[in-house]
Amino acid sequence: MNHRHLLLPLAVATVLLSLSACRKEPTPEPAPAAAQPGPAAETADEFVARVNAELKAAYPEQTSAQWLSSTFINDDSQRIAAKTNERSLAQLNQWIEQAKAYDGAPMSAASRRALDMLKLMTAMPAPRDPKKLAELTEIAARMEGMYGAGTYCSGEGDAKKCRQLGELEDVLRSSRDYDAQLEAWQGWHTIAKPMRQDYVRFVELVNQGSREMGFADTGAMWRSGYDMPADEFAAETDRLWSQVQPLYEQLHCYTRDKLAQAYGVERGQVGGGLLPAHLMGNMWQQDWGNLWDILEPYKGVGSLDITATLEKQYQQALGAAERKRGPGASVQARFEAQREAQLAVAKQMTERAQDFYTSLNMPKLPDGYWAKTQFIKPLDRDVVCHASAWDMNMGGADGKSPDVRTKMCIKPNEEDFTTIYHELGHVYYYLAYNHQPPIFQGGANDGFHEAIGDTIVLAMTPKYLESIGLVDGQAQSQQALINAQMRMALAKVAFLPFGLMIDRWRWGVFDGSITPDHYNQAWWELKAKYQGVAPATPRGEEFFDPGAKYHVPGNTPYTRYFLSHILQFQFYKSLCEAAGQTGPLYDCTFYGDPEAGRKFWTMLQHGSSQPWQATLKELTGSEQIDGGAVLEYFAPLQEWLKQQNAGKQCGWDAAPAPAATQQPPAGRH
């Protein structure tokens, strides 16, 4: 996992070291037997140096295999990715075994930390048995491929229509037709059914790998990557959730009311006050920003419609591309003009994001970034569109420059625009810690890696957005403030329980308290408990709804995003202070501030070379993750929501989703 370490992109299946962001990472190839002196011949410090050198040497080939399998999905690329991972994981197991010989041996503090971190370098601990190892990497590559290539077809004959995730998401984003949204939501979830058997086996195999490494199960292993005992870490996540839960419940209450106004009381909620999964504007109900038309507190005050501006920019780019081709252009030429405009706007959006980072004195992205990044969805093959950031060569060696990239299918809308800032956060982290030894090339913990770009998104205040021409003149009023806060809350507050529930489910699956015959039931119980969300139609065990969320087939741990959504407010507050801002937290931006940039970069440079608590303390003065900054930021909105909700019955009955289970209902909370 990633915690600190190297992870590779997400890509493929899971590989090893994961680190960062969305990625998974590979490991190195075994050196020829003769070249491996083995522990007896090496001191601990020499052993760590060799592991670092071999990691770095093997890394480019592994990331290339993964990049190919994520940007060109077919049987061959999956085979190569699986085989590469197989070698990487076997090598990692060998190192972990060899490291045992150094228990109690003299070594530097850095080597001790590096050896401890070896065991946590992958989120996919592999069994030693070579057959099982091969089986595991094949399953992982297959599941990721199924997700990336997932297609829902409806209708027959000439009316047959096939859609992938992007088009189905468009329906949830833009349509307000209850039935069309339901079909899009259900349609996407059909793609996960065939993953169920693979996932059951996957869990058995990674659990065996975890046990061989000395962990109780894979969830316990994931929880042990936080420089504190695993049990304490789990309790920390409960503590953080209890801090922010009241804010979420107010937002939930307000939203339910608005949905009832938009769709009617019957259709606007499910059962005891739960929000219908297909009406939330997002396939997983993790970001409610697309419901702006329904949830905007004061219509048109301080217009924050970034999507509309981006769409306009696309139309302009299209106009230019069409003019270039002249009036009587062929159908083919008009189509090419569209592609050219899509790519141009995607690059403009990325340049805009880069500009925020360079305003903090961070470097420009290397030329190779622009040459090798996947900006938009290719038309001639399946790809994993889920956004990710890649470090292909750990900073390069032998005169090579860093090879960093992102992989997205960018569309001109607000969500993708902020996701670009998120991804560049990963990329700048890579660039900042590239001088560290490979084992320390990771986030302070994985939540840090996820929080960098989002911290910048928090600094995109209405004033900043106006200054870059993305929104029009901003009114200074209480109503404008509430609108701006709501816009941010729909992304950040709505996310919190989602960030928690995914791994609550996986922790249960890994420790056996959730068995395969209850996978879907447990999933919806957790969705109900934490998010207050439910499906509008029964979702029995013939479905495998967890598989419709990328990080489950992609095996990316998810608690990192929950942590990130708390940490980013702490980072933001500290950088605002560094920039000398004294006004209310929500009003601050540190765009263009050199001191904020210096502090930020200093933090990034540490990578995972020291416990995250030390890194956090340097930046914020505290060693604790804490929800206080979230509450401070949203204080005006929370007050406003309380007034709006006064007299309403808030909360929900987290009873089982319809037909999903026969258990007695849990109480209202």
Name the residues that contact ligand X8Z, by CB under 6 A.
Answer: 21-22, 286, 387-388, 419, 422, 561
Q: Is 387 a catalytic residue?
A: yes
Structure tokens at 106: 């003299």
Q: Is 450 a catalytic residue?
A: yes
Q: Is 386 a catalytic residue?
A: yes
Burial of 611 (0-12, 13-18, 19+ CB in 10 A): middle
The entry of ligand X8Z, Zn ion, none near residue 388 (CB within 5 to 8 angstroms by kind) is ligand X8Z
Structural contact between residues 558 and 499, judged by C-beta atoms closer than 8 angstroms = yes
User: Interface with Zn ion by CB under 5 A: which range of 15-23, 107-115, 378-386, 659-667?
Assistant: 15-23
The entry of Zn ion, ligand X8Z, none near residue 561 (CB within 5 to 8 angstroms by kind) is ligand X8Z
Residue closer to ligand X8Z, measured from CB, 9 or 508 = 9
Q: How far apart are CB 620 and Zn ion at their closest, in Å?
A: 21
Number of residues this chain uses to bind Zn ion (CB under 5 A): 3
Q: Which long-range contacts (CB under 8 A, 24 or more apart) does 645-649 make?
A: 645/250, 645/253, 645/254, 645/257, 648/253, 648/257, 649/273
Q: Is 54 a catalytic residue?
A: no
Structural contact between residues 297 and 478, judged by C-beta atoms closer than 8 angstroms = no
- The Cα 466–Cα 468 span in angstroms is 5
Q: How far apart are CB 21 and ligand X8Z at their closest, in Å?
A: 4
Residue closer to Zn ion, measured from CB, 215 or 390 = 390
- Which residue type does 268 have? G
DSSP state of 270: B
Residue closer to ligand X8Z, measured from CB, 22 or 567 = 22
Burial 425-434 (b: 16+ CB within 10 A, else e): bbbbbbbbbb
> Which residue is associated with the tokens 């065990």?
541
Q: Is 422 a catalytic residue?
A: yes
21 near Zn ion, rule: CB under 5 A: yes
Structural contact between residues 450 and 442, judged by C-beta atoms closer than 8 angstroms = no
- Residue of this chain nearest to Zn ion (CB atom): 21
- Which residue type does 490 have? L
Q: How far apart are CB 391 and ligand X8Z at their closest, in Å?
A: 13
> Which residue is associated with the tokens 């339910």?
256
Identified catalytic residue from 126, 140, 387, 459: 387
The entry of ligand X8Z, Zn ion, none near residue 98 (CB within 5 to 8 angstroms by kind) is none
Sites for Zn ion among residues 261-300 (CB under 5 A): none
Q: How far apart are CB 301 and ligand X8Z at their closest, in Å?
A: 28
Residue closer to Zn ion, measured from CB, 54 or 450 = 450
Q: How far apart are CB 21 and Zn ion at their closest, in Å?
A: 4
What percent of the residues of the chain are helix, what percent strand, and what percent coil, each to the nearest 5? Answer: 60, 5, 35
Identified catalytic residue from 3, 426, 449, 606: 426
Alpha-carbon distances of 15 from 10, 61, 64, rounded to whole Å: 8, 13, 13
Residue closer to ligand X8Z, measured from CB, 388 or 483 = 388
- The Cα 55–Cα 42 span in angstroms is 17
22 near Zn ion, rule: CB under 5 A: yes
**Residues written for the chain:** 669
The entry of ligand X8Z, Zn ion, none near residue 88 (CB within 5 to 8 angstroms by kind) is none
Strands 275-276 and 533-534: parallel
Sites for Zn ion among residues 455-514 (CB under 5 A): none
Q: How far apart are CB 427 and ligand X8Z at their closest, in Å?
A: 12
Q: How far apart are CB 607 and ligand X8Z at their closest, in Å?
A: 17
The entry of Zn ion, ligand X8Z, none near residue 574 (CB within 5 to 8 angstroms by kind) is none
Residue closer to ligand X8Z, measured from CB, 22 or 575 = 22
- The Cα 607–Cα 599 span in angstroms is 14
Q: Is 449 a catalytic residue?
A: no
Alpha-carbon distances of 491 from 65, 141, 325, 606, 637, rounded to whole Å: 34, 31, 40, 29, 14
- The Cα 298–Cα 485 span in angstroms is 12
Interaction mask 413-452, Zn ion, x per CB under 5 A: -------------------------------------x--
User: Interface with Zn ion by CB under 5 A: which range of 17-25, 364-372, 402-410, 628-636?
Assistant: 17-25
H/E element holding 152?
strand 151-154
- Residue of this chain nearest to ligand X8Z (CB atom): 22
Residue closer to Zn ion, measured from CB, 535 or 557 = 557
Task: Please report the sign of the dihedral spanned by the C-alpha atoms of residue 364, residue 419, residue 356, residue 493.
Answer: negative
Identified catalytic residue from 3, 5, 278, 386: 386
Q: How far apart are CB 555 and ligand X8Z at their closest, in Å?
A: 13
Alpha-carbon distances of 55 from 6, 88, 129, 379, 385, rounded to whole Å: 10, 9, 22, 35, 28
Q: How far apart are CB 20 and Zn ion at their closest, in Å?
A: 7
The entry of Zn ion, ligand X8Z, none near residue 29 (CB within 5 to 8 angstroms by kind) is none
Structure tokens at 248: 């979420």
CB count in 10 Å sphere of residue 465: 18
Residue closer to ligand X8Z, measured from CB, 6 or 481 = 6
Alpha-carbon distances of 402 from 6, 22, 397, 436, 441, rounded to whole Å: 15, 18, 8, 13, 13
Residue closer to Zn ion, measured from CB, 337 or 496 = 496
The entry of Zn ion, ligand X8Z, none near residue 387 (CB within 5 to 8 angstroms by kind) is ligand X8Z
Identified catalytic residue from 254, 561, 591, 633: 561
Main-chain dihedrals φ then ψ at residue 238, nearest 5 degrees? -65, -45
Identified catalytic residue from 25, 169, 249, 450: 450
8 near Zn ion, rule: CB under 5 A: no
Residue closer to ligand X8Z, measured from CB, 95 or 428 = 428
Identified catalytic residue from 322, 423, 525, 577: 423
Main-chain dihedrals φ then ψ at residue 638, nearest 5 degrees? -60, -40
Task: Please report the sign of the dihedral spanned by the C-alpha atoms of residue 525, residue 531, residue 537, residue 539.
Answer: negative
Q: How far apart are CB 564 and ligand X8Z at their closest, in Å?
A: 8
The entry of Zn ion, ligand X8Z, none near residue 419 (CB within 5 to 8 angstroms by kind) is ligand X8Z
Catalytic residues: 386-387, 422-423, 426, 450, 551, 561
Binding site for Zn ion (CB under 5 A): 21-22, 450
